[in-house]
């Protein structure tokens, strides 16, 4: 559902840009890449020192981490839309930016018990142990404020330009929205497993706390009409 909202938001932004272009011509469209992945962006000059930008970004990657006795694979999938106001305080291309991201960022989690930590009496059951997976999903706040600074090469000129952004997106503390044991024996419903999952939920949220203040750095190539 969030992805649908983001797509609609991007469509509205492009429609607004087209309307403004018909009246003033001060519209830019570009492609970008950075710590939020790849994306599209459109901008509208509101005055000599104010501009409005919006876009969508997508990023998917994975990394491994061990928490207590579980080897986890984390797969972040970030999909978000931005609406930013740029202020050029001087006559140069330097700018300050503030706004928000509407995000559908989440992290898929899958973990397996470490075989080297199995008690000796279970040494012959490693294949069975590998069938039991800890699975879950971690998400963040839907609305994420942003502050940053940047540089636009063609702020006062039409044609091709390069844009740089550096800032921070505040997307809130990670929240494990679901966590369960996927196994063929139904052990995930055992009362002791419920307590184990509660401990793991807190440990996973602590592990992903670094994503709360997410660094945003990007470079884009745009064309101003």
Spatial separation of the C-alpha atoms in residues 92 and 151, rounded to whole Å: 9
Q: Taking the alpha carbons of 187, 188, 189, 192 in that order, is the dihedral positive or negative? A: positive
pTM above 0.85, yes or no: no
Quote the distance between the C-alpha of residue 168 and its chain's center.
12
CATH (residue range 2-224): 2.40.160
Q: What angle do CA 195, 198, 203 make, to 5 degrees?
A: 130
**C-alpha dihedral over 139, 143, 147, 151, to 10 degrees?**
90
Instruction: Note the pLDDT of residue 84.
Output: 96
Give yes or no for residue 22 having a pLDDT over 50: no
Give yes or no for residue 51 having a pLDDT over 90: yes
Give yes or no for residue 5 having a pLDDT over 90: no
Give yes or no for residue 91 having a pLDDT over 50: yes
Helix (H) or strand (E) holding 191: helix 191-207
Quick one: which of 10, 41, 6 has its CA closest to 162?
A: 41
Spatial separation of the C-alpha atoms in residues 108 and 136, rounded to whole Å: 6
Q: Enumerate the domain spans of the chain.
A: 2-224
pLDDT in tens, 52-81: 999 999 999 999 999 878 899 999 999 999
Encoding tokens for residue 103?
A: 């995000």
Instruction: Note the pLDDT of residue 155.
Output: 80
C-alpha to C-alpha distances, 57 to 6, 77, 78, 121, 137, nearest whole angstrom: 10, 11, 8, 50, 20
Mean pLDDT of 84-92: 91
Give yes or no for residue 4 having a pLDDT over 60: no
Encoding tokens for residue 225?
A: 């009409």
Spatial separation of the C-alpha atoms in residues 145 and 140, rounded to whole Å: 12
């Amino acid at each position: 559902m969030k992805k649908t909202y983001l797509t609609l938001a991007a469509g509205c932004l492009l429609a607004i840009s087209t309307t403004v272009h018909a009246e003033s011509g001060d519209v830019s469209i570009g492609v970008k890449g950075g710590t939020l992945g790849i994306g599209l962006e459109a901008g509208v000059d509101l005055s000599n020192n104010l501009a409005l930008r919006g876009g969508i970004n997508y990023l998917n990657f994975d990394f491994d981490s061990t928490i207590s006795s579980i080897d986890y694979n984390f797969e972040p999938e970030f999909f978000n839309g931005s609406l930013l106001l740029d202020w050029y305080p001087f006559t140069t291309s330097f700018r300050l930016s503030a706004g928000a991201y509407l995000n559908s960022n989440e992290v898929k989690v899958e973990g397996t018990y470490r075989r080297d930590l199995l008690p000796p009496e279970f040494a012959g059951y490693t294949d069975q142990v590998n069938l039991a997976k800890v699975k879950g999903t971690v998400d963040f706040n839907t609305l994420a404020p942003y502050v940053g600074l940047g540089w636009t090469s063609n702020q006062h000129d039409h044609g091709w330009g390069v844009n740089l952004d550096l800032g921070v997106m505040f997307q809130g503390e990670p929240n494990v929205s679901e966590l369960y044991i996927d196994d063929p024996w139904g052990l995930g419903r055992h009362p002791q497993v419920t307590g184990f999952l509660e401990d793991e939920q807190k440990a996973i949220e602590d592990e992903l706390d670094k994503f709360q203040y997410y660094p945003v750095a990007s470079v884009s190539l745009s064309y101003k009409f």
